[in-house]
Amino acid sequence: MDALLKQFERLHRPIDLVQTLHESQVKEVPARYILPSDQRSVPAIEAPQSIPVIDLAAHHSEIVTQVAKASQDWGFFQVINHGIDLSLLERIKRVSKEFFDLPLEEKRKQCPVRPGTRMLEGYGRFFDISDDTVLDWVDALVHYVYPPSVMAVEHWPKTPHTYRETYEKYGEEVLKLADKLLGLLSEGLGLGSDYVQTLIKEPLLQLRINYYPPCPQPDLVHGVKPHSDGSVITVLLDDQVEGLQVRKGGKWLSVSPVPGSLVVNIGDLLQIISNGKYISAEHKAVVNTNQYRMSVVLFLLAEDGVLIAPAPELIDESHPRLYQSTISEEYVTNYMSKINEGKANVEALIIEQH
């Protein structure tokens, strides 16, 4: 809790939200957002390589193979025929945009930043809290959408008035999809289809809506810095504007939006459970000069107190145990305090092999 309060106090120092910078028509990015030249993005590679698109309506054994392969090679895939109504996805985008379009003070009033469950929640900025980190060109809204006991609906947006029912519905739907995906991912490891779900117990779904206004000098900034997610898996919905990039074989590849699809990625906790077979890939977001971009990201987390460790079935002489165990909520708290260090958290758990 101390660490959370410290983060919270830091946030009280005035830092402009990027939407304000955009609206005041700055011609140059303020110094606090400018990356040292060696960290700036080089243009990402387009085709021929692109993250796999998996049709969840295909034959079961085929999907298991595809999901497992994508999780090993990329740590990312996109799903179509995922079972979530496309009209619900449209409503989610609409209510989210309507909230971000409200005046700044209104958004702050409805969703104040405050210490929440495992992390800061509310509307503002979260990832960059120390004075010497370069700020990301993004504003965000963070809260849980499952289970009801941690949702704090009193701090959810009240405008538009359909926000709550839309996100409650979306939370339920993504939970169903996540159940299905965890089954496929477990089977892909050669484990029983309920292995991961049984291990993580009652999951939590944490929402982060990223809002990236146009930026006058996009080559000088990050939208979101390179990082891997501290989740079990993550489900991302974007508004079809390009910006997400995934690192594969040392190169950054941009994800081309597929209409009606959702992007799924493996998080650090599943990399640990799978003993490194599935990868929690580094990824980042870039911004552009003329378009807003929004992504609606749901992080699936494990219940408090769950011991996250490599599945014993995946360890043998030729596959030594790669990671130390960690407690679910401790991993997430640590993760939030070191988010600017990229993959540092999961890497700190690697067991030296002799």
Binding footprint of Ni ion on the chain (CB under 5 A):
229
Q: Which is nearer to Ni ion, 144 or 195 (CB)?
A: 144
User: Which one of ligand OGA, Ni ion, none is in contact with 208 (Cβ closer than 5 to 8 A by kind)?
Assistant: ligand OGA
Cβ neighbours around 175 below 10 Å, total: 18
Q: Is 229 helix (H, G, I), strand (E, B) or coil?
A: coil
301 belongs to the binding site for ligand OGA (CB under 6 A): no
> Which positions from 242 through 261 interact with ligand OGA, judged by CB under 6 A?
243-244
User: Number of residues in contact with ligand OGA, rule: CB under 6 A?
Assistant: 10
Smallest distance from ligand OGA to CB 32, Å: 20
Q: Which residue is nearest to Ni ion (CB)?
A: 229
Alpha helices in 189-327 (DSSP H): 195-200, 268-273
CB 268 within 8 A of CB 344: no
Which 195-234 residues touch ligand OGA, going by CB under 6 A? 208, 210, 224, 229
Indicate the residue among 224 and 235 with the shorter CB distance to ligand OGA: 224
Determine the distance from the C-alpha atom of residue 151 to the mean position of all C-alpha atoms in its chain, rounded to a whole number. 18
CB of residue 283 vs Ni ion: minimum separation in angstroms? Answer: 6
What three-state secondary structure class fits 213? coil
**At closest approach, how far in Å is the CB of 321 from Ni ion?**
26
* Partner that binds at residue 285, options Ni ion, ligand OGA, none, CB closer than 5 to 8 Å by kind: ligand OGA
For residue 227, the minimal CB distance to Ni ion (Å) is 6
Residue 295 binding target from ligand OGA, Ni ion, none, CB below 5 to 8 Å by type? ligand OGA
Site of tokens 């509310």? 122
Shortest reach from residue 339's CB to ligand OGA, in Å: 9
Output 106 or 239, the one with its CB closest to ligand OGA: 239
Distance CA 59, CA 55 (A): 9
C-alpha dist (Å) from residue 307 to 41, 146, 198, 203, 331: 37, 20, 12, 13, 10
Nearest distance, CB of residue 106 and Ni ion, angstroms: 28
Does 295 sit near ligand OGA (CB under 6 A)? yes
Identified binder of ligand OGA from the candidate list 297, 298, 306, 332, rule CB under 6 A: 297
Q: Which of Ni ion, ligand OGA, none does 244 bind, CB closer than 5 to 8 A by kind?
A: ligand OGA
Q: Which is nearer to ligand OGA, 178 or 244 (CB)?
A: 244
Show Cβ contacts of residue 341 under 8 Å, excluding neighbours closer than 6 positions.
none
**Binding residue (CB under 6 A) for ligand OGA from 273, 285, 306, 322:** 285
Between strands 139-146 and 251-254, the pairing is unpaired
Does 117 help bind ligand OGA (rule: CB under 6 A)?
no
Q: Which residue from 120, 122, 124 is spatially nearest to 139, judged by alpha carbons?
A: 124
- Residue 292 contacts residue 186 (beta carbons within 8 Å): no
Q: Where are the alpha helices (DSSP H) in the chain?
A: 2-11, 18-23, 60-73, 86-100, 104-110, 163-188, 195-200, 268-273, 328-337, 344-347
What are the residues binding ligand OGA (CB under 6 A)?
A: 208, 210, 224, 229, 243-244, 283, 285, 295, 297
